[in-house]
Amino acid sequence: MEQHEQKSPEQQRYIRLCAQTKKMYQAQEELENVQAGMAHGNDPASMMQLGYQLHKAHQTMREVTNSLYVEKKELEEKHPEFRAEALSFGKSQQQKREQSQQQGY
């Protein structure tokens, strides 16, 4: 599909879901790293409280991420072309990043 073509509401929704899912998984990974790093803290009481807060945030993010993933898969089942377009777009973006990095050196 060309970039200039108008995307349907479902296509726009799918694109947003893909982006949100990726961001949520990245944030979830960051939280896991922070949570693991907190094991080396000095003040046990405050570290336990922070650990609990991080754990709650992590669980919330996991629930949202899983929900977004299910919604994305439902759209992919209805419209397999969305996934193909997303993969193609991702590959072209990766190539652009690689080209700009090579030009920067």
Tens digit of pLDDT for each residue in 35-68? 777 776 667 776 777 777 788 888 878 888 888 8
Domain ranges for the chain: 10-104
Q: What is the pLDDT of residue 1?
A: 46
What's the chain's average pLDDT?
82
Q: How many other β-carbons are positioned within 10 Å of the β-carbon of residue 92?
A: 11
How many whole angstroms separate alpha carbon 1 and alpha carbon 81? 9
For a pLDDT cut of 70, what percent of the chain falls above it?
A: 90
Both tokens of 53, joined, read 């807060």
